[in-house]
Amino acid sequence: MFAGETDALLNRFANEPAGPSLGPYLALLNDRLELPDPELAGVVDPRTNPRDLRIELPGRTLEARIYQPVHSTGPAPIVLWLHGGGFIGGHLRDIEYATSGIAAAGNVVVVSLNYRLAPENPYPAGLNDVLDTLSWIREHASELNGDGRIAVGGQSAGAGLAAGACLVARDNGSPLPDHQILCYPSLDHEQDTESYRLFDGTFLSIAPGRWSSAQYFPTGELPAAAVPLRAASLAGLPPALILAAGRDPLRDDARHYAERLDGPVRLVEYAETMHAFLNFPAVLSAGRHAVELIGTHLREVFYPPA
């Protein structure tokens, strides 16, 4: 079923009329303005009450949206969630099916963050936003109806930022999140893996020399926080749920990270599914399944049987 649905969606994208010929930055600005199509992206889970939030951090204000389960009976764990978009695009509005569904299915409060993007704000701006927002959540947990427990997660580039934030917190001796959830994570740069050779260009390209990467990554040797797979050690990091897509050039990032983590880790791979499948739950049942799986996993982590 996943294969047929993925083929149909890829064919639909391939047959869309070409847009105007624009330079990469103008094309990016146009993409940022495009609203999600509910026929692909789905809608907000009615079991939640979304509300917008402005997070005041040193020198900047970030937009976020909070999803609280309607029938929540008290304080709950908070999950900071980070959208994908290659570190240059994406928006919290693109993933509302997932963020609201995870809140409802997991009985958690989800804070979906619009972190700063390149090229206007290259590395480490987005990573610093994640680190500072985690600290902000700890300080304001009671206002968010949080119970003190925090997880961090995201999709693609957002998952890379989540992993990088855990590494920085470990190395700085800062409080670690209680759990991390990495969905088809981007954890390296210009990697030569089997999945890159097999699937590059299947919805996503990670080929060397991309304009988007040049806007985000610093020149010279990259710090492990930017490319977590290059960290000398992955010891001492939070337990993890990692989701992979079987037909994704980043598939092996997820596999290799799961293999190297020394704590509790669960790897779930959706066979024959493309990158970013959580963005298209209205047409990809893998996306709907993954939202429920993440929610169930969080319930098992945060609400174990007595």
- Mind telling me the catalytic residues? 156, 248, 275
Structure tokens at 138: 């700890």
Query: How many whole angstroms separate alpha carbon 52 and alpha carbon 264?
Result: 34
Six-digit token string for 53: 């939030």
Q: How far apart are CA 132 and CA 188, in angstroms?
A: 23
Name which of 236, 230, 90 is nearest 157 in CA terms. 90
Structural tokens at position 234: 């992955």
- Of 93, 85, 74, 69, the closest CA to residue 126 belongs to 85
Phi, psi of 181, deg, nearest 5: -130, 115
Contact by Cβ (8 Å): 166, 177: yes
DSSP 8-state assignment for residue 203: S
Q: Please name which of 276, 256, 153 lies closest in space to residue 195, comparing C-alpha atoms.
A: 256
DSSP category for residue 183: E
